[in-house]
Structure 1
Amino acid sequence: MADEAPPPTVGAAGTGAGTADGDAPSRGVGSGVLNLGAVSTTNELLRAAQATMGAYAFNRGTVAGRDVTVHYHGAEAKAPELLRRLGPDSADAVRAAFVPPEGFAELSRLVGGVHVVLLRATPREGADTAALRLLLDLGAGPMYRLDPRRPLADLAVESLEAAAGYLLSGLSDAAVRSLTCLDVDGLEARLRPLGSRLVIIVPVGATLADQGLRGYVRTLGASPAAADVLTAHLRWRLRSAVAAEELLRRAEVAVAVREFLQGEPSCRDVADLARLLAEAHGTGGGAVDVAWVLDAMRQRAAEHFDAWFDRLDDLPLRCTAVALALFNGLPFEIVNYAAARLRSRLDDPAAMRTTDTGIRLVNPLAPRPDPFRETRAVRLRRLRARITHTTLPSRYGDTPAQVMSYDDAEYGPAVINRVWDEYDDVRPALVDWFRELGGDPSEQVRTWVATAVGLLATRAFEYLLNAVIEPWARSGAKGQREAAAIALGVPASVGGLTEQVRRVVRAWSTPDDEDDDAAELRATAARVYGSGLGPSAPHQALAGLEYLADSPDNDVANAIGLSLAELIDWDDKLAAAVLTVIVRWLGDRRYPERITNGHIAFLRIALDVTRKAEAVGEDDDTLRWPLLLYFAETRPELWPTIAGLWHATLNGPIFQDAQWALSSWAVTVEPDRRSCEAMGRLAGAIARDIRTRKILLQLAHDWTTGRNPEPTPRVAASVIQALSETK
């Protein structure tokens, strides 16, 4: 069969390698990939990671703790006051600007006959304001807040007023669990003769241990739309509905408000925005300094963020907060696992333990925390996070997932920045954690952690290069090298360190016989040209990849192919330039390694880049096409080159890999009539000689006789028909 074939040609662009000699190839892309689109999937994950973290990465947030003088005095701390009376302004705001949540009128009717209400409510949705309005509607005169740090038993009869309203919110989970029916019954008995009422806010997810409390529990309905809350507060503060509407119609205000509301702010945040807009309106002489308003909101958000993080009072919860910051929007299981790994680095429960009962520790270890001490719902509330049921892309297609994310998207970057900038003793463990997660089996995990490392490298480039990125780059594991390439891509593309990254890549690209990891470094350098430097400077990337293309190492060859595929996936206008480079390598007999590497690169592109189908019909239910097949159909100028490269590779040194790749195409396109017909037309163009035609006919036969994991009779019939017409 080898005697029948002339030297294979590569389209109109050049010549390819010699014919196959029948021996099994020692190099190539492996035994075939039957799930196409690895590069396309990776780039989808990378874009998602950058969207999650990149938009806020360079906003350092607060730097609380610097330039702050703390005075310590010897006076004994006083116990917090049990009651604090609310001023008349609070009641005025509740009366004038309150927007009722869903079912509020019915709630008022239901609680009219009781004097203690346990109001279940979702945090950040205006529960305190709703409770105050409930008290006002039920006839409360003076109103008081109870300090959540003091036990309810301290509320003595002599401290209560007639016809007063009392609000207790901000209870810890332990305080909620400690509420008993006996305590609440006693309060009901004390308040009823006075005509006074108490509302206790119980967060959704908090556990009431005493089932006798059920009769006191009511649930607050869904909160009103944030835009309605903003309008109501502006009307009250400006004392005019017309003025409020005119203010909101101003172009600069409308833009700022729209962006602010997209962040799903709390009701309190919306009320604060209304206050600041009213102040700016009143002092601006008709103009509104929107920049001042937004800056004030950012400062307030930073203060609230610092206070929230400081209230995370145990290590497991803080580790979860950091893990969620890193993997915001990924499955809960990933966040939970990463949090456990970080905690193990910060607090090893096995440290200093002994099984020798005769040894006594001078300072006994604290007992391990009870793993059942709180539910996931409680942790989510304390973290200001949520679980959403959705689907996520994976190597094997979209899969269902329960993703975990912060309610406020800015919390993720803010947590990472705060921990990195403010907790010096944590940073070494954080770096070790990053390095470990860069080798995780999950591509999602590696992509997210590499992006975070890259963002931090814009501020600590040399430190993270030496501590995390280069160890990844020297790894024998492909996943860690991919993580290094992604991490370097961030400072190269958005961090203003493009030239520094180029110098690193040039150093890694240079062969060094004395460096045991030289091949791994060259493979990583090749990947940086695709994922990091390529999108902004594709022609320089092509030159760098061509310099590496004479490497005899298989990892380097596959890295080159992946980067070329990635360049096309980022911008398909680069297809002609990339394929031309491969054609040049196949024709350059001065460098035999480039010929083999050119074949590998072509097959990587064929396998790893896909395109979504533009239409789906009754017989056309595939979701993705191999990109090169799509180009062969839609870009006539690429048709001869794509057909020629397939011809050369099927007859080249890694012909078995080429057959596997074409078989992978068959499995992918089988459900779609259009792509089956397109593959038949392409096969007719590939079969330029008797030998190649026989190879294709044998493959088509194998596709229907169990030689493929899935039979593909439709594409086989299309290929056979096309070959019979071109015989």
Structure 2
Amino acid sequence: MSTPVQDAPPAETAHPQDAEGAEERAAEEAGEEGADERAQNAWESRKDLRRHSPAFMLGDSARLGGSLIGGSQHGVSGGHVDGDVVLGDKTEIYQLRFGSAGTPSSSGEVPEDELDRLAALFDADEEELAHLTGRLRTERFLVLAGPLSSGRRTAALMLLRRLPVSPIRALDRDLRLGDLPHHLSQGSGHMLCDLMTDPADPLREAQLLALRDELVRKDSYLVITTGPGIVPAEGMPLARWRAPSASLVLRGHLRTLTDEDTARELLRLDAVQAVLAHRPQPREAAGLARLLVSHAQDRTTLERELALYSTLSVERQVQRWFDDPALPLRDKAFLVSLAAFNEAPYAITAELSDQLYTLLHRTENRGIHPHVPVFGTSVDSRLQLARARGYREEEPTEWGPVVQYKAAYEDDRAALVLLREVWTGHPSSRPALVGWLRELADDGRPLVRTRAAATAAVLLTRDLPSALALLVEGWADSPRPHHRVTAAHTLALAHAMEAPHVRNVVGDWARGEHPRLRWTAIRTYALIGEKWPEEALDALRAVVSAAAARTDDEEEEAEEETAEAASSAAVLMVSPAGARVYPQLLAALDEKGAVRRLALRAFLTACEWYDDADPQPSRPAHAARERPVLLNRFGHAVATEAAVTTPGTGTAADETAAIVTLWNTALRDHEHTGHALQVMADWVRCADQDPAAEWALSALLPALATTRPDLDRLSHLLRTMPAVNGGPPPPVAARLLTTLTSRRSPYGPAA
């Protein structure tokens, strides 16, 4: 792990010479540590990126508009949605959720007309409400625990309204539980919202007993609402409240505001279903109802207004989380960690959120060591707080999938919005966030390193100069190869999210004078070059040409860059842009020197890569590798070409011809013949347990034996190559030799 961010020394004791010396020593130590480290190859790097990147990196959610998301400062036009878009503090719950004209006092009697209005709009599971009402009638008071914005306040009022009590009074949330008996009225219902407990002054059973006695004496009732994380005292009648579904709330509001037929018609609209798919909270569903009613006669603008309202809702939710002074810093750290590890195993999210909490605490409470409780944190309460869900799902690993308990935000846009907001809306968090991401980049788990890159990519899309300077450039210029891989992943993901100027950054680094930045740019071309392969290949050709011109003192550096350029070109070859890459490589074969060597080295490098994209059910479990990627593609191309009415034309024919030409050239090139024969032997060994691979080779090998030397070379290989564990050639070699010689003309059997 990297060294955590340390507090800066006082200004009067910090000497520039000491700082410079410390930086030099740190760089030397990092260089020594990274000297023996080898970078993950480009193919495995690409697979890790696809395997572990979060879902919000793909699709429209990565390009949301809005004041916190895309940068545009939008508002609500025409005043159509009144106050419902403004999702403000807890004291605004009545206005926000049900469209009341005013905001009630935080203490005092709740007006009867307000209760009637709420009752007309309230819709929840009747069986659950009846159960809770029965408990309240028997026990006199109830603690209703549920997430913020889940409708717990309104539920408390409706539970009290079902009892024969009047009036219903709202108590001040700042009252101490021990003082509550003195504030109870005769024959009344009472509601205390958002009870906060202090670990230094926890709830006590004696207080609860005294409270119940007073309620019985005054023939009164009390409902307390609180968050899901409360730890109940012994004997406390805790009840878990879960919000009714958004569709249920919306349907109830529409029926009240319009009529049954109109409500049914509005609910069927695709735009409405799209908003409901993001799982809005009850208050948001209530505001959505008013918006629908106000635009019911103007369907041309309805879809736009619905999308705007939905976007604003997730923005406001994120703002409330960060702006709430009552929400503990550790919970805010968990929200950020969940955004970075959305749809990842919960245990990793929780573990690493405590690392972030420690760094945030260092910023907020300098000099005070943070207290991190080891036990006592409920998974359910944390997920409810975050408006998240837990579920079991397979997590891909390099050894195969494993079942993990994962966590994800209910609204799939929340992760992206939250990361952008914490970076730009709360700049004081940047030192802790940067330190945290640096620690994640040094983690031994590929998932964690990839999510560090993904999070940095989000920051890069929002604030390119700062994120580049504070994070990406440091990784890109690091002596540690895994840091440079992380930088390449960050740039690739940012480019996928349409971050500005990423191509310019990569191009400048590739042409620059800094070797590590050049290496990072080369690796990045492997990951983003498929969108413009011609430009990427031109840059790689320039790199290898410049490397070939270097002096003997720079030989090691030149070889490293040449090998990396070949790997990047190989990735482009097997990418979806392969059809545009083959002509470039074939044209390079007609050149001399470094460019020709790049093409052949890239081809043979791609031939060495195996993938599990086309698994064989009959393949033995002990098989170490799957089918070679290029052999698999050749087989598919041959089969596709055979199925067309005009053989020899089309993309499949071009691919088979390109692979045959590259193989022939590699086998005949004295500099690459040995390497090519080794790779071909590996392909044959793979085919020994894979009929599809054998079929593809039976089509490829005869096409490579167009001259007597070609035939002799391949025949000798098949007769003499050892099996996987040594010994005589595998049985498939004899079958392929028969195929090779029987299809050969005009030479006949090889001598």
1:396 and 1:483 map into 2 onto residues whose CA distance is 21
User: Aligned partners of 2:225 and 2:152: how far apart in 1?
Assistant: 7
Residue correspondences, number: 635
In structure 2, runs of 5+ residues without a counterpart are 1-37, 72-104, 549-557, 639-652, 742-751
Q: Deviations over 1:20-47 (max 9, x none)?
A: xxxxxxxxxx9999x9865344334457
Opposite residue 675 of structure 1, the aligned amino acid is: A
Q: For residue 634 of structure 1, what is the aligned residue in structure 2?
A: 636
1:182-581 → structure 2 map (5 Å cutoff): 182-201=206-225, 203-210=227-234, 212-213=235-236, 216-220=237-241, 224-238=244-258, 240-249=259-268, 254-281=269-296, 289-292=302-305, 294-296=307-309, 298-299=311-312, 301-311=314-324, 313-336=327-350, 338-343=352-357, 345-348=359-362, 366=368, 368-372=370-374, 374-377=376-379, 378-435=381-438, 437-489=440-492, 492=495, 495=498, 497=500, 500-510=501-511, 512=513, 517-518=514-515, 520-532=516-528, 534-550=529-545, 551=547, 553-571=558-576, 574-581=577-584
Following superposition, the deviation at residue 112 of structure 1 comes to: 4.2
How far the C-alpha of 1:245 sits from its partner, in A, is 1.9
Task: Give the SS at the match of 1:404.
Answer: strand
Alpha-carbon distance in 1 for matches of 2:618, 2:566: 36
User: Deviation at 1:481?
Assistant: 2.6
CA distance in 1, matches of 2:243, 2:504: 54
- Spell out, residue by residue over 1:567-625, the C-alpha distance to the aligned partner (whole angstroms, 9 max, x if none): 34542xx324423433444553x31x445433431233234474733x96667999964
Return closer, same or farther for 1:583/1:536 CA change in 2, 3 Å cut-off.
closer
* 1:98 Cα deviation after fit: 1.5
Using the alignment, how far apart are the partners of 1:112 and 1:706 within structure 2?
84
CA distance in 2, matches of 1:53, 1:246: 27
SS at 1:391 equivalent = strand
Q: 1:407 to 1:48 in 2, by over 3 A?
A: closer
List per-residue Cα deviations over 1:286-325 (Å, max 9, x = no partner): 9874544554554455444322212365444333333333
Give me the whole-angstrom Cα distance separating, in 2, the residues matched to 1:597 and 1:36: 17
CA gap of 1:633–1:375, structure 2 versus 1, over 3 A, is same
Change in Cα spacing, 1:133 to 1:461, as seen in structure 2 (3 Å) is closer
- Cα deviation digits, residues 46-74 of structure 1 (max 9, x gap): 574613996256644299xxxxxxxxxxx
Match of 1:73 in 2: none
Amino acid corresponding to residue 197 of structure 1 in structure 2: Y
Letter in 1 for 2:248: D
Question: What is the alpha-carbon distance in structure 1 between the residues aligned to residue 689 and residue 485 of structure 2?
Answer: 32
One-letter amino acid matched to 1:308: W
Distance in 2, matches of 1:288 and 1:644, equals 58
| 8 Å CA contact 1:82, 1:155 repeated in 2 | no
Q: Distance in 2 between matches of 1:686 and 1:558?
A: 26
For residue 483 of structure 1, report the CA deviation from its aligned partner: 2.9
* 1:39–1:562 CA contact under 8 A, matched in 2: no
1:418-468 Cα distance to aligned partner (Å, 9 max, x none): 332233343344345445544544443343333443443345434443443
**Aligned residue type for 2:693:** S
Aligned-residue CA RMSD (Å)? 4.2
Superposition map of 1:165-184 within 5 A: 165-172=189-196, 174=198, 178-184=202-208
Q: Deviations over 1:356-386 (max 9, x none)?
A: xxxxxxxxx5464252475153444444444
Structure 1 counterpart of 2:195, one-letter code: L
> Secondary structure in 2 aligned to 1:635?
helix
Question: 2: CA distance between counterparts of 1:594 and 1:348?
Answer: 53
Post-superposition CA distance 1:337-373 (Å, at most 9, x none): 5445545555559x99xxxxxxxxxxxx546425247
The answer to whether the 8 A contact 1:328-1:405 is kept is: yes
Q: 1:399 to 1:720 in 2, by over 3 A?
A: farther
Q: How does 1:576-725 map to 2 (within 5 A)?
A: 576-586=579-589, 588=591, 590-591=592-593, 593-608=594-609, 610=611, 612-613=613-614, 625-636=627-638, 637=653, 638-643=655-660, 645-646=662-663, 649=666, 653=671, 672-679=690-697, 681-682=699-700, 688-699=710-721, 701-705=722-726, 716-725=730-739
Given that 1:434 and 1:449 are in contact with CA atoms closer than 8 Å, whether structure 2 keeps it comes out as yes
Report the AA paired with residue 267 of structure 1.
P
Summarize the Cα distance change of 1:32–1:158 in structure 2 as closer, same or farther, 3 Å threshold: closer
How big is the shift at 1:231?
0.9
Query: Residues 446 and 654 from structure 1, CA distance in 2 versus in 1: closer, same or farther, beyond 3 angstroms?
Result: farther
Residue type at the aligned position of 1:375 = T
| Paired AA for residue 263 in structure 1 | H
Deviation by residue 1:96-136 (Cα, 9 ceiling, x = unmatched): 53131664444444554332233454665443333333333
- Give 1:234 deviation, angstroms: 0.8
Offset at 1:332?
3.5
Could you say which residue in structure 2 is the equivalent of 1:23? Answer: none
Relative to structure 1, the CA distance from residue 541 to residue 244 in structure 2 (aligned partners, 3 Å threshold; closer, same or farther) is: same
Distance 1:207 1:104 in 2: 23
CA distance in 1, matches of 2:51, 2:683: 21
Q: Secondary structure at the match of 2:169?
A: strand
Q: Which runs of 5+ in 1 are unaligned?
A: 1-29, 64-79, 353-364, 708-712
Aligned-partner Cα distance in 2 for 1:175–1:31: 48
Which of 120, 134, 141 aligns to 2:166? It is 141
> TM-score scaled by structure 1?
0.74
Give CA deviations for 1:74-93 in whole Å, capped at 9, x if unaligned: xxxxxx96555355323432
Read off the aligned partner of 1:703 and give its amino acid letter: V
User: CA contact under 8 A between 1:437 and 1:445: conserved in structure 2?
Assistant: yes
- Indicate the structure whose relative CO is greater, using CA pairs within 8 Å and at least 6 residues apart: 1
Equivalent AA in structure 1 for residue 279 of structure 2: E
Deviation at 1:540, TM superposition (A): 1.8
Cα distance change of structure 1 residues 102 and 543 upon mapping to structure 2, 3 Å threshold: farther
What displacement does 1:273 show?
Answer: 1.4
Q: Structure 2 length as normaliser, TM-score?
A: 0.72
Q: Name the CA shift for 1:200/1:44 in 2 (closer, same or farther; >3 Å).
A: same
Superposed displacement of residue 160, structure 1: 1.5
Amino acid at match of 1:582: L
Amino acid aligned to 2:324:
R
Shift of 1:235: 0.3
Residue type of the partner of 1:601? A
Is 1:142–1:165's contact at 8 Å kept on the other side of the alignment?
A: yes
Q: Are the equivalent residues in 2 in contact too, given 1:61–1:418 (CA < 8 A)?
A: yes
1:150-177 CA-partner distances (Å, limit 9, x unpaired):
2222223563131x33333423354799
Change (3 A) 1:166 1:600: farther
The match for 2:85 is: none
Q: Separation in 2 of the partners of 1:458 and 1:218?
A: 43
Q: 1:244 to 1:140 in 2, by over 3 A?
A: farther
**Cα distance in 1, alignment partners of residues 369 and 612 from structure 2:** 55
